[in-house]
Amino acid sequence: MTYNLLIENIKKHIDLSSSEADSICEFFKLKTIKKKEFLLTQGTICKFEGFVVKGCFRTFTIDKKGNENTLYFAAKDWWLMDIDSFMNHKPSDLNIQALEDSEVLIISQKDKETLYAKIPSAEKLFRIMFQKSIVAWQRRIIRNHSLTAKERYNHFVEKYPKIASKLTDRQASSYLGITHEFLSKIKKQP
């Protein structure tokens, strides 16, 4: 069953009775999406939170200079949303695009509120998930400031080999914050 992955993911963060697990799962609906299609586009309001069960996504923004900037990739077992747009009901700065045929468990904004209200441990679950997420963002800032582009590339490939293997160089470079031409040159270095 496709909900097992979600339950296992939740159990990494908090202890959960199986009845609670089932109640949580009831709020999520499976959504199928094809390669290159968008789950969210810049300018629209993000009305969902998603958990990837199959495939891979890229979350990126296009800045004033027209450059694509990838915030993160989300493969199987990752969560997915524009947290700012979702929380504040405001137009998103982000695009979320499927890199391959994918499946996501989706919970709507409204259902998320109900989930928090009805299942007390949900607050704790997401509080802990968000804490862990902050740690990851902080580490990325430090890496961006203290490592060279080549060191960042090596770190990325070592830490996320499965995701890295699915990407074009252009996609990887937009995550690392460099041009694709420079990534090409980096990869040739000894």
Partner DNA sequence: AAAAAAAGTTGAACAAGTTCAACTCCGTAA
Partner DNA sequence: TTACGGAGTTGAACTTGTTCAACTTTTTTT
User: Which 3 state secondary structure label does DSSP give 160?
Assistant: coil
Contact 26, 84 (CB under 8 A): no
Q: Which helix (H) or strand (E) holds 146?
A: helix 120-146
Residue 92 and residue 44 in contact, taking contact as beta carbons nearer than 8 Å: yes
In angstroms, the CA 106 to CA 50 distance is 5
Q: Does 63 bind DNA (CB under 7 A)?
A: no
Q: Which of 1, 19, 158, 188 binds DNA (CB under 7 A)?
A: 188
Beta strands in the chain (DSSP E): 29-33, 38-40, 48-54, 56-62, 68-75, 79-80, 95-98, 102-108
In the complex, least distance from residue 6 CB atom to DNA, rounded to whole angstroms: 29
Binding mask 73-112 for its own copies (x = CB under 8 A): ----------xx--x-----x-------------------
- For the packed helices 149-159 and 169-176, what is the interaxial angle rounded to 10 degrees? 110
To the nearest whole angstrom, how small is the minimum distance from the Cβ of residue 25 to its own copies?
A: 20
Nearest alpha-carbon partner for 18 in 111, 121, 115: 121
Under the binding rule (CB under 8 A), the answer on residue 43 touching its own copies is no
Which of residues 119, 148, 160, 175 is near DNA by CB under 7 A?
148
Q: Give the separation between CA 166 and CA 100, rounded to whole angstroms.
A: 9
**114 near DNA, judged by CB under 7 A:** no
Question: Which position among 35, 110, 127, 187 is part of the footprint of its own copies (CB under 8 A)?
Answer: 127
Q: Rounded to the nearest whole angstrom, what is the least distance from the CB of residue 100 to DNA in the complex?
A: 9
Nearer to its own copies, 34 or 110 (CB): 110
Binding site for its own copies (CB under 8 A): 61, 63-65, 67, 69, 71, 83-84, 87, 93, 116, 120, 123-124, 126-127, 130-135, 137-138, 140-142, 144-146, 177
Binding site for DNA (CB under 7 A): 148-150, 168-170, 177-182, 184-185, 187-188
